[in-house]
Structure 1
Amino acid sequence: MSAEARKAAILRRSLRVTVAASVGFYLLLYVADLPAAALYALFAPIAIGLLSAIPGSGRRQAFVVLRALPPALGLAALGTLLAVDTWSATGGMLVIGFLLAFAAVAGPRPAGAAPGLQLFYILACFPPYAPDALGERLTGLAVGMLLLAASHALLPDPPVPSYRKRLAAALATAARGVTTGEVTPQDLRDTGARMRLSRVPPSERPAGAGRTDRALEQGGRAVRRLLDQLAALPELPPPAPDHASDTLLGRVAVVCETCADSSVTGRRPPAPGALEQAMRNFQSERVRTAPGPVAPARPAPEPPTAGANGRTPSLAVLRRQSRVLALAESARIVEVTVDIAANGRPADPPAPRELFWYAELSTPKLWARRVLGNATLRSVLFQNAVRTALGLAASRLVAGSLDLDHGFWVLLAVLTLGRTTVGATWRAARRALAGNAVGALVAGALLIGLGAHTDAYAILLAPAMLVGFPLGPMLGTAYTQGLFTLVVATAFAQLAPVTWRLSEARMVDVATGSVIGLLCGLLAWPAGAGREVRRAMAELLRTCGGLVPPTAEALLTPSPGSRSSPRTLPSLHRFRLAKAAYAQYRSESGTASKDAEPDWHAVLIAAQHMLLGAHRLPRFGLRPEIGPPNPSASRARTTAAGLRADADRIASLLTGGHPVSEPNTPPEPEGYSPASLSVDLEVWMTSLGRQLAHVEASVTRRPAPDRAA
């Protein structure tokens, strides 16, 4: 989003919140004479409209606000009842704080609404204990949120393209790149980069645990890989016509076009399977024309077709065909995932089943896997939930035990100033204290000057919100806190007689909340995702590196019993944890520009390369009819073991270990030829070796060696 678009979005959001908060507050206070309801009508739009990230635009945002209303009412009711004493309110804060923070496992949409929902419990769980005022509180809350929903419908944000439309546009570009060749490699790569989730608005990211979101996310990754493969394909131009590759590429283009149409129109795509059949025909043609005695990894169901020219293809053509086959596999994954996203469940179990493990599971089981998979100390989402819950519970206990005036500001400070690292929390707290100090001085002078003139505060409240709400996000934490202090002062001065000590109380509360937030940060994962991303990436490399030798063995062993794909579910689980850690690490301030850090994105790419090869090669790889004594096969096994050792060594370097192995590429045996081994295996291991060399170079900060498998 450009700077101008961001400013426009902030101004629209601030105007919506100001209108909703002002209308509800003035009506309930001055017309209905319900001060408690007026307070909740004021804070409800602020909580959901400012503290929360409401996804979508227009009617969709209004619908999200309406969906948040029932849990908001329940949290306010629960807080009102548990306010009977400090310990019950603290226990409720601990549980509510954890559950709402841990809702991030469901994706950015629930995570965006969590801070606002936290505030409804926080506001209600403080004294006075007044269960008789519950009806008035819920009335104010409902009025504020209904007004906010109306403001979203009347002043919407510009619509953003859905993920399905982004997917369709990327597939259309891929189809044009295959059929016309008019799309430049750079344009293909740029289109793929726009599919990265970090460049997609949170409201449109397919991050849920259901089949549809999982299929769309997997399909998006496959499209990005397909575009990158298309961009790299011209690097190996065939020295002779290659009719088999052209035929398969034509089938890929058809699949891209039909999947793009299905994503845009919503029409059900054709049942997947045609592309896989084309890949098997392509494999059969390669078997027929390959040099030496070879056999497919799995028997093809149809007899091989005749070659275009009857000649044995050169090694360059075989290598290009291997790339085309890998490209077609990416398109096949897109074909299957679009079918799952459209139909919910596939008509037939997709192959390989481990790659589409979610396709046949029920929604409750998928959610259970998502929750249990993150219920570990190694999950950054779990760590953040624990840190947030401890900070909020400690703040409620301190505020209640010390009987702080307006103690909910202590919890609000923890909620808004807490960061995932101690350093970032300290920077936010320092700026917040500075901003509050200035705001308190101005607010104190305002309260002394205006005294008990309630009408003056009523006139100032709406302009104060209209100015403070947009300027804070634009100018930073200090301005946000200072301007919010002015808004609070003008609002509370209308509810009850106040003095300049209101500003003093806010200063004390914000300082108390900042200290508690810092202490929680020191005790609970103070480095944020910095250490966790190293551990997660190291475990990912170890588990994925273990897939390389059995994958190679599947192509080198004649026995049909050894041709199944290695088990990859543990690696897929590690992949998800590593991606979550990496996403948080990139979002933490001060990490995006650290050139000395390892190339974490390259680690994820290498791991994905190993995972996909483990599935694709046993099914479609060209396998020679050779036995264990063959020197080429021995070198391939040694290379595969070396790649696994490389992955283990890099993992040890990431976690501060002392690896003893060094890169060791075996020499080529006499009479060695990649074509006599397996071109697909050779291309895969060569590419993987280069990727691991790049990763190791980024870890050790030395130039990557020119290595080949």
Structure 2
Amino acid sequence: MPATSLLGRLRRRDPGYAVLRRAARLTLVASVVFYGCRYGAGSSVLATYGLFGTIAAGAFAQLPGPAPQRARILVISLPAVWALIAAGSLLAWSTWAAAGGMLVIGFVVAFGGVGNPRLVGWASAFQLFYILASFPPYQPDTLPQRLGGVTLAIVLLAAAEVLLWPDPVPVSYRQRLADAADGVAAFLDTTARALTEPHPDHAGRDARRRRAYDMVGPLDLARNPPAWAPTAAGAQDRALRICAAALREVLAEADRLAADIPPEPIPDLAAARLLRVGADTTRAAGRSLVPGGAPVDLGGLDAVVGRAEAAVGAAVGQPPDVPRSCRDATALALADQVRVFAVGARLATGLRLDGVDAPPGLFDYARHNEWTLYRWQFRSHLAPRSAHLHSSLRLAVALAVARVAAGLLQLTHGFWVLLATLTVLRTSAADTRSALRPSVLGTVAGALVSGAVMLLVDLPIVYAVVLPVTLILAFGVGRLLGPVWQQALFTVLLTVVFAQLDPQGWRLAEARLVDVLLGAVIGVLAGVAIWPRGASHDLRHNAVHYLAASADAVEETVEAVLGGAPSPQRSIDRVRRQLVLLDSSYCQYHSERHDPHRQQVNWDAVLSAGHYVVPGVGSLLRRNPPGCLAGWPAAAALLRDAVARLRSAYDEVAEEVTHGRSSGPSPAPVTCADELERVRPLLGSVDPQAVRHLVEVDRWLAALADTLALARIRRETPGEPPGKP
């Protein structure tokens, strides 16, 4: 049966009925507001603004968070909505005045998403409020009715969000992070047991490894909806992104250590103690992210790390044990990343860093208030290369041109032109072209159906009766069936509404078609002519500079250890500045659509490479002070060779980032056995302490190369953990 097939298709596309629940809430609120204002109060103005206020806030706004949070955002936004409607109503006296207001408001509203990309979902609704009010007739005396209709709609919609079929709260990013921390901690515990127990459980360790990778994978921003991903400029969202990067590195270090477990376990191994306390701290930091969780205590981790570092410094006079030194170096690097994760968890829950020794570089922003952070974010994007600036100007110019065209052509329903422009225009030309076809095809189909119906039916009561049906079809069924259906059913809905507000017969469908085609043409021309590449170009540009800065910092750090250069602080500062720009441009890029058939850069891995460099340099130089390997030519030659290969890897990743295609296979990870073969010829009568310095620095470079390999463009191998080469 066709009906059964359609219901099955809808059920598969909306398994939790979230879309249909939202459509039902919108339908009920819109129907109550429209009927009450149009037929109860007898006011077309109240009905128009009440209905379109419901549609703008309920359908065009993509608000984040659970139902109470969305309701709170709706109510708090009312003053901004009033201001936009008032501005549009007062500027509607002139086409050029309204277009100038559209240019300014369009830019300000769009650029406001710089501080929090999740607000972009509310931006379309804000623009619609101004657009609707800025068209004739110029009737400033009706402003109270306009504001009253919108206020009634938004208040009822906010109440419906909480009281009527509220959506189940999806798993938040903080909860995902907490779950992933628990999975990683379990893998750390298993790896620690494998280092000390006589009969390690290899099958159990492999199962926990796979589970840890499966739980860390969903932390990628690309695998989270924009409304829930931590993409804002504020301290808590920044901390969550740093937490995710640190947890990936904890898992990667644990994986390296697991690969280097000796055939015979060694009791009382320092690496095992670091793993156990790292597991406890990771688990506690993850639980602190859950509402009601206790803040993590770093005292235990710091004590064990301090004893391990003291043991490293007390190794004078003992024969060098390269494999053990390698494992200790890996475990200390793991502990450093656990500490980054724990400090980030404190910030993510709103706590301050008072009395906490934060890793240098990554958390400097935490010393500033939210307004300062947002001000820096806005200021950094008022630059010629900013993708945020480009997309905001593009949208503002397109809407202003559409407003001028609608005014000069004296179109009866000119706001449909701007609505079509807003619907079609995206942040890149590719996305704009993708949105054009369904918009035009759906509008044509909807106009044909609407015109035919209005030729046959000329009774307003019929359209009043079918209004709820068209609402549920447009915002529920249409959204599930696809963009063409959604646009067609939305066209039918507008016909049903205006058949009651301003009856024009079949010419209403004709006007809708002409307006949408004009708006689509303007949107496409703006998308193609004005900075058509979107955020991807800005992101790639920032990533190349970021990778170059990271390579410079690594090279200067090694030269400092060899006694040939001062502290690399200036290079680290440059990495941090580039990291902020890269992080911000990636957050916008995350909100765009991308070709699924094109090879994509693993941007989370690119960001993680810098997250590993910035705190890693400070920890490395604390245990291996500048000049500790001076006067050992063989060590200098080995390390400079490793740095040269690592810089080539940075250059290769930068090349892939620039062109979006693979430049070759990823290098294989370096194990402690490989490192032993590299270091063995240098041992001789060298001081064991110098050998430990050499092993830790060389191991740090190898870990950097492994981390960088994750950023390479490649095809996933079936059966391997996501993102693990």
Band the TM-score falls in, shorter-chain normalisation: 0.7 to 0.9
One-letter amino acid of the counterpart of residue 55, structure 1: P
One-letter amino acid of the counterpart of residue 227, structure 1: L
- Per-residue Cα deviation, 1:208-236 (whole angstroms, up to 9, x for no partner): 33323322332233223323433443111
User: Does the 8 A contact of 1:624 with 1:676 survive in 2?
Assistant: no
User: Does the 8 A contact of 1:222 with 1:334 survive in 2?
Assistant: yes
In structure 1, the partner of 2:273 is: 247
Instruction: Work out which of the residue numbers 297, 306, 313 in structure 2 matches 1:287.
Output: 313
User: Does the 8 A contact of 1:628 with 1:634 survive in 2?
Assistant: no
- 2:301 maps to 1:275: yes
In structure 1, the partner of 2:172 is: 162
In structure 2, the partner of 1:16 is: 25
- 2:161 maps to 1:176: no
Deviation (angstroms), 1:430: 2.3
In structure 2, the partner of 1:680 is: 696
Cα 1:620–1:517 change in 2 (3 A) is farther
SS at match of 1:678: helix
What is the distance in 1 between the residues matched to 2:175 and 2:679? 52
- The one of the two structures with greater contact order (alpha-carbon pairs below 8 A, sep at least 6) is 2
Deviation (angstroms), 1:470: 1.4
One-letter amino acid of the counterpart of residue 396, structure 2: A
User: Does the 8 A contact of 2:109 with 2:123 survive in 1?
Assistant: yes
Bigger shift: 454-463 or 615-624? Answer: 615-624
- State how 1:46-445 maps to structure 2 within 5 Å: 46-153=55-162, 154-180=164-190, 184-238=208-262, 239=264, 240-266=266-292, 269=295, 272-289=298-315, 312=319, 314-342=321-349, 344-348=351-355, 350-445=357-452
In structure 1, the partner of 2:556 is: 550
What is the distance in 1 between the residues matched to 2:251 and 2:645? 30
| TM-score w.r.t. length of structure 2 | 0.85
What is the distance in 2 between the residues matched to 1:98 and 1:267? 41
Instruction: Work out which of the residue numbers 570, 577, 583 in structure 1 matches 2:574.
Output: 570
In structure 2, the partner of 1:41 is: 50
Deviation (angstroms), 1:19: 0.8
Cα 1:7–1:346 change in 2 (3 A) is closer
One-letter amino acid of the counterpart of residue 514, structure 1: A
Cα 1:22–1:321 change in 2 (3 A) is same
User: Does the 8 A contact of 1:188 with 1:230 survive in 2?
Assistant: no
What is the distance in 2 between the residues matched to 1:97 and 1:142? 22
- Per-residue Cα deviation, 1:398-443 (whole angstroms, up to 9, x for no partner): 1112212211011111111112332332232222112111111111
Residue identity over aligned pairs, in percent, reads 35
User: Does the 8 A contact of 2:110 with 2:120 survive in 1?
Assistant: yes
User: Does the 8 A contact of 1:24 with 1:38 survive in 2?
Assistant: yes
Cα 1:162–1:693 change in 2 (3 A) is closer
Cα 1:382–1:197 change in 2 (3 A) is same
User: Does the 8 A contact of 1:349 with 1:360 survive in 2?
Assistant: no
One-letter amino acid of the counterpart of residue 40, structure 1: Y
Bigger shift: 624-633 or 486-495? Answer: 624-633
In structure 2, the partner of 1:660 is: none
User: Does the 8 A contact of 1:212 with 1:344 survive in 2?
Assistant: no
* Structure 1: unaligned runs, 5 residues or longer: 293-310, 658-662, 700-709
The root-mean-square deviation of aligned C-alpha atoms, in Å, is 3.1
User: Does the 8 A contact of 2:312 with 2:692 survive in 1?
Assistant: no
What is the distance in 2 between the residues matched to 1:249 and 1:668? 26
What is the distance in 1 between the residues matched to 2:298 and 2:275? 16
Deviation (angstroms), 1:73: 1.6
Cα 1:656–1:31 change in 2 (3 A) is closer
What is the distance in 1 between the residues matched to 2:707 and 2:535? 24
- State how 1:605-620 maps to structure 2 within 5 Å: 605-620=608-623
Cα 1:430–1:11 change in 2 (3 A) is same
- 2:637 maps to 1:631: no
- Per-residue Cα deviation, 1:511-547 (whole angstroms, up to 9, x for no partner): 1111111111122222333433332221221121111
Alignment length (residue pairs): 669
Cα 1:338–1:128 change in 2 (3 A) is same
One-letter amino acid of the counterpart of residue 345, structure 1: R
SS at match of 1:525: coil
User: Does the 8 A contact of 2:443 with 2:491 survive in 1?
Assistant: yes
User: Does the 8 A contact of 1:262 with 1:268 survive in 2?
Assistant: yes
What is the distance in 2 between the residues matched to 1:479 and 1:71? 32
User: Does the 8 A contact of 1:80 with 1:125 survive in 2?
Assistant: yes
Cα 1:210–1:606 change in 2 (3 A) is closer
User: Does the 8 A contact of 1:195 with 1:224 survive in 2?
Assistant: no
What is the distance in 2 between the residues matched to 1:342 and 1:438? 50
What is the distance in 2 between the residues matched to 1:654 and 1:532? 11
What is the distance in 1 between the residues matched to 2:504 and 2:645? 74
Bigger shift: 71-80 or 230-239? Answer: 230-239
| TM-score w.r.t. length of structure 1 | 0.87
What is the distance in 2 between the residues matched to 1:497 and 1:697? 57
Deviation (angstroms), 1:654: 5.1
- 2:647 maps to 1:644: yes
SS at match of 2:219: coil
* Structure 2: unaligned runs, 5 residues or longer: 1-10, 192-203, 661-665, 668-676, 684-689, 716-725
Bigger shift: 647-656 or 457-466? Answer: 647-656
- 2:491 maps to 1:485: yes
